[in-house]
Amino acid sequence: MTDKESKQADDHELGMDRKIDRRDFLNGLAVSALALTTAPAFGADGAPQDLPTYYPPVLNGMRGDNPGSFEVAHALRDGRFWATAKHFEDLNHVYDLVISGAGISGLSAAYFYRQAVPDARILILDNHDDFGGHARRNEFHLRHHLELLNGGTMLIDSPRPYSRVASTLLDELGIKPTALAKACDRPGIYRELKLGGSTFFDAETFGQDKLVPGQGMSWANGGKHVSWSDFLQQAPLSDVVKQDILRIETGTEDYMPGLTSDEKKDRLSRISYRDFLLDIVKANPGVIPFYQARTHGEWGVGIDAEPALDCWAMGLPGFQGLHLKPGAIHRMGNTAAGYEATGGSAKFHFPDGNASIARLLVRALIPAAMPGHTVEDVVTAKAVYDELDRATQAVRIRLSSTVVGARNIGHPDSSQGVEIAYSRMGEVYRVRAKSCILASWNMMIPYICPELPEKQKEALHQLVKVPLVYVSVGLRNWHAFDRLGISGIYSPGSYYSSTFLNMPVDIGSYKSVRSPDEPILIQMVRTPCKPGLPERDQHRAGRYELLATSLETFERNVRNQLGRMLKDGGFNPAEDIMAITVNRWAHGYAYEYNPLFDNFNTPYDQLPNVVGRKRFGRITIANSDSGAAAYTDSAIDQAHRAVQELVTLERL
Ligand SMILES: Cc1cc2nc3c(=O)[nH]c(=O)nc-3n(C[C@H](O)[C@H](O)[C@H](O)COP(=O)(O)OP(=O)(O)OC[C@H]3O[C@@H](n4cnc5c(N)ncnc54)[C@H](O)[C@@H]3O)c2cc1C
């Protein structure tokens, strides 16, 4: 067989030629990604979202930063946009507030502004074809059963307590996380079936494909107890590596004798976990591939770029004998001072993650767009997208609209308003507003607002976002997981470094799967980092990789990896996969300062996010980026700050 024939044969076995839901498909009406952005007028107001059939949560294929959402922004960044912009139409529409970004921060900003100015008219613009930003809903109908998964933001948690502002907002939306946690059945069925964590050792990294249950990632931790020595006995690792992993996991030696807890913590904050294992624990370098991806999901980089102290706080092993005093560790600019211990929950999550928070905010802003009244019924509510942008409403959300310019009218110190330009379906439009909040990605702001002071633009450029991919895969059944006794897989050498069965959560009329015979969603996570480079460079390189990777490659890797990992459970990738949605977040988590690469002695008021978010005339800046914290509470807090800045100014 030629290489081509052999690839075709492999692809056939993997099921690449099977007809599944992987192309963009909109309520029975096939709409190519391009059509969503370049189609001529075909809704009431001339945009796809004005069609009654428009319902992006069910779209499969390449989602997250979907094709059509980023091309305009990249042209603006590269200086190509204005040279080729076709048409500039002044809509002569005047709003009280225009917000760039319909993520949690932009939606919260609209909510807070309406509290301060109840009759305010607000326009929210977002470059994606759905609202919510990272808080994105993936909705599947597998054998006619509604299955939900988070395409991005999942948990209402944070390393610090939710502020009074953020917890009050949740409360006003009806979200009482503690009460909801009691009501939902989590992890339920997986514990009953005794499914636990596992690790997949791949042949390319470890010499042999082998799935070893007992240790690794899982939601349920309800699997059979397997000791580290029993687990390691089955692992394809050399004896010396096994001994060192056992020492790291269960040893009680103090590797830093003679230092106080504070001195140890200080040193651990300045070295990577990789260097801690190699230089302080003196482990054999062969342990590194086993631990390398343990920090991928949390921080988007491997253990080479993550401070050992953060890894201790996250519960990684090796620190047992160091007797470090418990206590929060704070990343720059994120001290807990002034925060109340309220709100948030690491236990409760909505079946579509924090997309439900975005949907509740939309209900509060435009009730007709989100039927229902309770925090439970929002989960199954079908959003009415053609209500989002009606002239009769005080708040309008306009999707597939990239903000390309925001300019104070007059000098920023005496500005009486802002002109905002946005691009939609190949046209450029201009609107005016009393004020503007850029609740969108901060490093893009210098291109939108080139009049900003140079120092502020430089600071904004430093907030390099963290790329990552969450793939939602619909499976016909989950017998293979059940047979292997696993609910999650840690796969440190593979393309996707973790795989989970959808975590059960029952709320309102939404019921999670009850039996391995039923279809289920799983989530596979890829973090495209480049070990060895400084953190920001890893993120930049990862972003280029994601944008250059085709849907076909993501899919082939899903099929190949699931087939290899679940082989002994009888999994057949050609038969068992029903649907694939790739949530590609080239611009994912907000950048959080890292003592390995950032100067921790920088005074608070000189931190890039603090310098970068300074109000400029009637334009101000929100988004979790401006809090340098990749969490929902940060997105809400920064929205509140931005609104207060404007309201104070407007009242002068
Ligand atoms: C995969 C993933 C998982 C996560 N999991 C969690 C979690 O479990 N818990 C948690 O607390 N946080 C999580 N986060 C962090 C998440 O970023 C925040 O919680 C929060 O959702 C951020 O909201 P935001 O509004 O600040 O930003 P975003 O959600 O990024 O929203 C900003 C919006 O602005 C839009 N935009 C950008 N530029 C423009 C422009 N020029 N014109 C118009 N619109 C523009 C963007 O496309 C986006 O829709 C996760 C993030 C990712 C990527």
Task: From residue 57, give the alpha-carbon distance in Å to each of 11, 61, 103, 265.
Answer: 28, 12, 15, 44
Please state whether 312 falls in left (phi above 0), alpha (psi between -120 and 50) or beta: alpha
Backbone angles phi, psi at 165, to 5 degrees: -60, -50
3-state class of 456 per DSSP? Answer: helix
- Higher-pLDDT residue of 483, 217: 483
For ligand 1, pick from 153, 334, 360 the residue to mutate: most ligand atoms within 8 Å of CB.
Answer: 153
The rounded Å distance from CA 152 to ligand 1 centre is 8
Q: Each residue of 390-415: pLDDT tens digit?
A: 999 999 999 999 999 999 999 999 99
Q: How many CA atoms lie within 13 Å of 122's alpha carbon, on the beta-carbon side?
A: 29
Cβ of 623 closer than 6 Å to ligand 1, yes or no, is yes
Q: What local confidence, expressed as pLDDT, does residue 6 receive? A: 62
Cβ of 627 closer than 6 Å to ligand 1, yes or no, is no
Q: Which atom of ligand 1 is least distant from the CA of 585?
A: 53
Q: For residue 182, what are the contacts with CB-CB under 8 A and spacing of at least 6?
A: none
Q: Each residue of 249-265: pLDDT tens digit?
A: 999 999 999 999 999 99
Residue 606 is encoded by which pair of tokens? 């000189």
How far is residue 200's CA from residue 190's CA, in Å, rounded to a whole number? 19
Burial of 34 (C-beta count, 10 Å sphere; 0-12/13-18/19+): exposed
For residue 583, pLDDT over 50 is answered with yes
Q: Each residue of 127-153: pLDDT tens digit?
A: 999 999 999 999 999 999 999 999 999
How far is residue 161's CA from residue 339's CA, in Å, rounded to a whole number? 7
Average confidence (pLDDT) over 184-198:
83
Burial of 146 (C-beta count, 10 Å sphere; 0-12/13-18/19+): middle
Q: Each residue of 71-86: pLDDT tens digit?
A: 999 999 999 999 888 7
Q: Each residue of 528-565: pLDDT tens digit?
A: 999 999 999 999 999 999 999 999 999 999 999 999 99
Identify whether 351 is preceded by a cis peptide bond (ω within 30 of 0). no
Average confidence (pLDDT) over 614-625:
98
Q: Each residue of 312-354: pLDDT tens digit?
A: 988 999 999 999 998 755 555 544 333 334 456 767 889 999 9
The rounded Å distance from CA 35 to ligand 1 centre is 24
Cβ of 66 closer than 6 Å to ligand 1, yes or no, is no
**Ligand 1, atom 5: closest residue by C-alpha:** 153
Q: What local confidence, expressed as pLDDT, does residue 221 receive? A: 62
**Ligand 1, atom 6: closest residue by C-alpha:** 153
Q: Which atom of ligand 1 is least distant from the CA of 106?
A: 25
Q: What local confidence, expressed as pLDDT, does residue 605 receive? A: 95
Backbone angles phi, psi at 125, to 5 degrees: -110, 135
Q: What local confidence, expressed as pLDDT, does residue 44 receive? A: 40
For residue 361, pLDDT over 90 is answered with yes
What is the set of domains in the chain, with CATH numbers?
A: 71-134+385-464+593-651 (3.50.50.60)
Question: Is residue 370 a contact partner of residue 195, using CB atoms and an 8 Å limit?
Answer: no
For residue 224, pLDDT over 80 is answered with no
Cβ of 101 closer than 6 Å to ligand 1, yes or no, is yes
Q: What local confidence, expressed as pLDDT, does residue 246 receive? A: 97
Average confidence (pLDDT) over 456-471:
97
Q: In terms of Cα–Cα distance, which of 130, 70, 121 is closest to 99?
A: 121
3-state class of 410 per DSSP? Answer: coil
Identity of the residue numbered 198: S
- Higher-pLDDT residue of 89, 445: 445
Specify the residue for token string 């929100």.
Answer: 622
Q: Which atom of ligand 1 is least distant from the CA of 65?
A: 47
Question: Is residue 285 a contact partner of residue 240, using CB atoms and an 8 Å limit?
Answer: no
Please report, rounded to a whole number, the percentage of residues in the chain having pLDDT higher than 90.
79
- Band the pLDDT of 3: cuts 50, 70, 90: low
Mean of per-residue pLDDT scores for the chain = 90
Q: Each residue of 5-33: pLDDT tens digit?
A: 667 768 888 999 888 776 444 333 334 33
- What is the pairing mode between strands 619-621 and 427-438? parallel
Residue 243 is encoded by which pair of tokens? 């001994």
Identity of the residue numbered 423: S
> Structure pTM?
0.94
For residue 36, pLDDT over 50 is answered with no
For residue 185, pLDDT over 90 is answered with no
Q: What local confidence, expressed as pLDDT, does residue 31 receive? A: 40
Looking at residue 223, the DSSP 8-state letter turns out to be: S
